[in-house]
Structure 1
Amino acid sequence: MRPLLTGTAIGGVLGAVLVGFAAFAWPQEQRSTPSDPRAITYQQIELFAEIFARAQRDYVVPIDEREAMSAAINGMLTSLDPHSGYLDPEDFRSLQVATSGEYGGLGIEVTMEDGFVKVISPMDDTPADRAGIQPGDYITAINGRAILGQTLNDAVREMRGEKGTPIELTILREGSDPFQVTLVREVIRPRIVSWRKEDDNIAYIRVSTFNERTGALLEDALSAIGREIGPRPRGLVLDLRNNGGGLLDEAVKVADFFLSGGEVVSTQGRRPIDVERRNASRAEVFKDVPIVVLINGGSASASEIVAGALQDRGRALVIGTTSFGKGSVQSVIPLGADRGAIRLTTARYYTPAGRSIQALGIEPDLMVTQVRLTEEELARIRRFSEADLPHAMQNENGEQRNGSRMPDEQPPEDYEGTDFQLERALAVLKEGQAALSRIAMRRDNAG
């Protein structure tokens, strides 16, 4: 099994359909008695077989049996939670290609909500990103045909296509009329890790996703920072905004660079004994250099592991807005040759302080918005989270995502810059220890 922590990437990691089902009838000698707790399950399977046979015989036109079975099985899995599903052999191969770092598509992390495709986050420098698609947008039609009534798999398949071919999406954005945007499909080569030198020898590092190359590319970036800036930059900004997640192992590798031993994350499966702890194991780079982590509502899953680990361990201050709140681990379980795989939620994860962020998210130490917000806009942001997805798991502690509150800081009315959150992160690092301590004290008092 391979642990994953990600949404669905168009053209890459795709929800899919199952191509078969076992027996529809149980041998008479194996049928359960009414006192057997499995009796109801067996009766439901027989009921399903009867309905399937009736549809085969009596539906107005011949049905595609394979497609009908796929829809039924996919419906079962997606009813468990938004992140479980079946991968047919083709989509299983797409998943393997996507996590290796290159695939074809539009570059969007998506899920399904209210019959429409909902954007979790666009990937950096992809057709979706360049077209201005935003987290929380709904895709309601493809090439003029409404999505309503389709499965996520159907919609994603429609958005696939050859490199260079155009596609028109109809976008519904709260507060705006529906609008069309035309994108051109391309091979997605995410710019996974990038960095640049800011004023006062501060290093800005952008991590856009967590695939098989993320840890190695971050190591290259940190080496380059050491060569250009030296062994003690004034500070580091680690930007995880709109990073929809990815591989658990890579999240651990990224956090490991900034921690001296100790726990990064733990996972808890169905049984009490199914506990696994992941610890930092390498020497910390840039020890004692202050770090600010940037997050927002598009920061999900693996991003939240990294932010939560550095926050809990007191290694970084987190600035931005509350993250998405995906605190579950999906394992990809191959089903054998030419049978694909299932993506199944098998565990929850916890930050080093034992926090489950499922349906809650990581709350920043300093809440800073990118644009000025009205109360209505703030409510819209609050609704864009894991907690609002159909069939989402609740937080096991019964906690609810915090209600909307106005940010600690937001851009002034006459702001003419392009990235207020980053500017505030840089300002905090330039102000030095006094500013860091002041924000940390505010966090501790709030907790």
Structure 2
Amino acid sequence: MTFRTGLLFGAAFLTGIVAGPGLVRVAEVGTGSFMFAAYADTLPAVAAPANSHAETYRLLTLFGSIFDLVRANYVDPVSDRDLITNALNGMLSGLDPHSSYMTEKQYADMQVQTTGKFGGLGLEVQGEDGHVRVVSPIDGTPAWKAGIKPGDYIVAIDGHNIDGSPLNDAVEKMRGKPDTKITLTIIRPKAAKPLVLTMTREIIHIEGVKSVLYDKTGYIRIPQFTEDTSAELRREYEKLTKQAGGRLTGGLVIDLRNDPGGLLNQAIDVSSSFIRNGEIVSTRARHPKDSQRWDAKGTDMTDGLPLVVLTNGGSASASEIVSGALQDHHRAVLVGTKTFGKGSVQTIMPIPGNGAVRLTTARYYTPSGRSIQGLGIAPDIVVKESREEPVFSIREADLSHIIKNQGGNQTKPPARDDLPAIASKIPDQPPANWPTYDMTKPATDFQLQEGLRVVRNMAGVAAPDPVAGLPPAPSATATKSEVSHH
């Protein structure tokens, strides 16, 4: 049997972008092609264990018996196709959180999503024990504008409860024609009551790489690793350099927060933009012949410019490849919180006329040999977004029946003796009087401000403390008095 495969580095479904937060590109694809790129002539043969045929036949007979039992006795008539589809879903989803079966319609929807010709919200969601949990909103989309946050739970769509429904069903309900309204009911950690948010679906486009110059310090935001990310990164870096008068004397900050991943070749190219030599990432599959390694390409476009990378729990897959490579090579200082921890690779295997299978086929490893599966990448300097502790975790380790972390060096990253002197002075959370975060006001972004402070210190330029200019925090007495007058 011939089939077409595509490797995915991602954590979940996107309700308005791609079905999976990232696709790994391992070969070129012509314009307009679906974003899957590896090809294979035959499905690899897997040798059956000795004396297994009788047991396999017995189990298949058991399956047939239960199939007939359900078809004959279930309270409502059910089609054979629905029963088989449910069985396939169970077989694959029971392996790990990222393997699944897609019907022909679901597979077609996935292909349509890559063209950007459909309406959606721009939400990356993960199914967990019958619940729909938000991994992250995509920059600039209706979900992002509405203020939906990582860790939110979607419990109803247009007033209809979806708790306990299959993830695919919830995703399909959130899709729809552009310019149509949709209302989501959200449960948010520590919120006193559910949030009801009404949005208008849009044609979803992943925003490209963006940059801002803060004095002589550059800032580049990578929202996702798409086909043009590496080229856009270089374009934005050149623009910043020109704006700064020829050189970013205050260093460079790369923002990978809430970046759910994307194309592997782009993660490699982005890493190679800062690392001259050595390994970027490797993958190890069940069959050794399918394992691969990718190395840097011998150039650093910044010529050793001080570099800080911002990460958080929404930084997944391809984002973790870049973060891990830069950390292992001591090329950048990671500031923020621990990443998602998805260290596996998925392959899309179309079944002509019957949809496709998304199957976990490999693990990936950082240059030092770490598997970050279920562990994530710990930052060099911990800086939390806010003082509030999240009630619900949204990382790989919290999902059911994840694949094991094995096959590599599972220890911490290589010890660092090159952190800047200011590292020990960076607070791990905002002070009580820090202003409420507003996505339109960078001065309220505590992680960004501390990242700028770190990279400026690395560059040997003035690195003012963003907390120093804040108004005094109100005293407990004053706060109590104010409340009593309302």
Q: Same fold (TM over 0.5)?
A: yes
User: Tell me, which stretches of 5 or more residues in structure 1 are unaligned?
Assistant: 16-33, 402-406, 436-447
Partner Cα separation in structure 2 for residue 422 and residue 320 of structure 1 = 9
Question: In the TM superposition, what is the alpha-carbon distance from 1:212 to its structure 2 partner?
Answer: 2.2
Aligned counterpart, 1:8:
13
* CA distance in 1 between partners of 2:322 and 2:398 (Å): 23
1:279 aligns with 2:298: no
Partners of 2:206 and 2:223 in 1: CA distance: 8
Residue pair 1:325, 1:387 contacting (<8 A) in 2 also = yes
Structure 1 residue 97 displacement after superposition: 4.6
Choose the corresponding residue for 2:107, options 87, 92, 97: 92
Normalising by structure 1, we get a TM-score of 0.85
1:23 aligned residue: none
Among 304, 316, 329, the alignment partner of 1:288 is 304
**1:389 and 2:378 aligned:** no
1:301 partner letter: S
* Aligned partner (choices 415, 424, 431) of residue 450 of structure 2: 424
Q: How far apart, in 2, do the equivalents of 1:49 and 1:208 lie?
A: 47
Per mean C-alpha deviation after superposition, the further-off stretch among 43-52 and 161-170 is 43-52
Counterparts of 1:190-339 in structure 2, within 5 Å, are 190-199=206-215, 201-234=216-249, 235-281=251-297, 283-336=299-352, 338-339=353-354
The answer on whether the counterparts of 1:387 and 1:394 sit within 8 Å (CA) in structure 2 is no
Q: Deviations over 1:183-223 (max 9, x none)?
A: 21111112131111112x11110011122232232232233
Alpha-carbon distance change, 350 to 398 in structure 1, aligned in 2, over 3 angstroms: closer
Mapping of 1:109-148 within 5 angstroms? 109-148=124-163
Decide whether the 8 Å contact of 1:237 with 1:294 is kept in 2.
yes
Q: Which residue of 1 aligns with 2:431?
A: 412
Provide closer, same or farther for how the CA distance between residues 412 and 64 of structure 1 changes in structure 2, counting only shifts above 3 A: same
Following TM superposition, by how much is the alpha carbon of 1:421 offset from its aligned partner in structure 2, in angstroms?
0.5
1:263, CA displacement in angstroms?
1.0
Cα deviation digits, residues 25-59 of structure 1 (max 9, x gap): xxxxxxxxx98223333322222222222322333
* 1:433 Cα deviation after fit: 4.8
Structure 2 matches for 1:42-121, cutoff 5 A?
42-99=57-114, 103-121=118-136
Which stretch shows the higher mean deviation, 237-246 or 93-102? 93-102
Aligned CA RMSD, in angstroms, stands at: 2.6
Q: Is the 8 A contact 1:232 1:289 kept in 2?
A: no
Which amino acid counterpart does residue 286 of structure 2 have in structure 1?
A: R
1:398-435 deviations in Å (ceiling 9; x for gaps): 9699xxxxx95211111124100000111112223579
Whole-angstrom CA distance in 2 between matches of 1:202 and 1:37: 63
Question: How far did residue 389 of structure 1 move?
Answer: 0.7
Contact 1:101–1:212 (CA under 8 A) maintained in structure 2: no
Corresponding residue SS for 2:286: coil
Name the counterpart of 1:149. 164
Counterpart contact for 2:339–2:377, Cα < 8 Å: yes
Relative to 1, partners in 2 of residues 1:419 and 1:283: Cα closer, same or farther, differing over 3 Å?
Answer: same
Instruction: Give the whole-Å Cα distance in 1 for the aligned partners of 2:304 and 2:315.
Output: 25
CA contact (8 A) 2:260 2:317 kept: yes
Q: Does the CA contact (< 8 Å) of 1:127 and 1:183 recur in 2?
A: yes
What is the aligned partner in structure 2 of residue 439 from structure 1?
A: none
Deviations 1:311-366 (A, max 9, x none): 11111100000011001111122223x33322111111111111110000010000
Q: Determine if contact 2:118/2:177 at 8 Å carries over to the other structure.
A: no
Residue 29 of structure 2 is matched in structure 1 by none
> Are the structure 2 counterparts of residues 229 and 35 from structure 1 closer, same or farther at C-alpha, using a change threshold of 3 Å?
closer
Matching residue of 1:21: none
Comparing 244-253 and 120-129, the one that deviates more: 244-253
Find the aligned partners of 2:117 and 2:428 in 1 and give their Cα distance. 38
Report the 3-state secondary structure (helix = DSSP H, G, I; strand = E; otherwise coil) of the residue aligned with 2:97: coil
Residue 428 of structure 1 aligns to which amino acid in structure 2?
V
Deviates more, 1:312-321 or 1:58-67: 58-67
What residue identity is the alignment partner of 2:433?
D
- State the shift of 1:285 in Å: 0.6
Q: 1:3 to 1:285 in 2, by over 3 A?
A: same
The 8 Å contact of residues 282 and 293 in structure 2, kept in 1 or not, is answered as yes
Taking a change above 3 Å as real, the CA distance of residues 312 and 97 of structure 1, as seen in their structure-2 partners, is farther
Is this contact kept in 1: 2:342–2:396, CA < 8 A? Answer: yes
Q: Give percent identity, aligned residues only.
A: 47
| Distance in 1 separating the partners of 2:344 and 2:117 | 25
Cα distance in 2 for partners of 1:62, 1:85 equals 25
Check the 8 A contact 1:261/1:280 in 2, yes or no.
yes
**What amino acid is the match of 2:431?**
P
- What SS does the corresponding residue of 1:432 show, helix, strand or coil? helix
TM-score normalized with structure 2 length: 0.78
Number of aligned residues: 407
Change over 3 Å in CA distance of 1:290–1:355 after alignment to 2: same
Q: CA deviation at 1:232?
A: 2.6
- Change in CA separation of 1:148 and 1:43 when aligned onto 2, cut-off 3 Å: farther
Amino acid at match of 2:456: K
Deviation string for 1:51-98 (max 9, x for gaps)? 222322333332133223212211111111111112334433443454
> Greater helix percent: which structure?
1
The answer to whether structure 1 residue 350 and structure 2 residue 365 are counterparts is yes
Contact 1:3 1:330 survives alignment (8 Å)? yes
Change (3 A) 1:78 1:364: same
Please state whether the residue corresponding to 1:139 is helix, strand or coil. Answer: strand
1:99 CA displacement: 4.6
Task: Specify the code of the residue in structure 2 equivalent to 1:392.
Answer: I
Deviations 1:154-189 (A, max 9, x none): 111111111111111111122222222112111111
The structure-2 alpha-carbon separation of the partners of 1:169 and 1:360, relative to structure 1 and needing over 3 Å to count, comes to same
- 1:227 Cα deviation after fit: 3.2
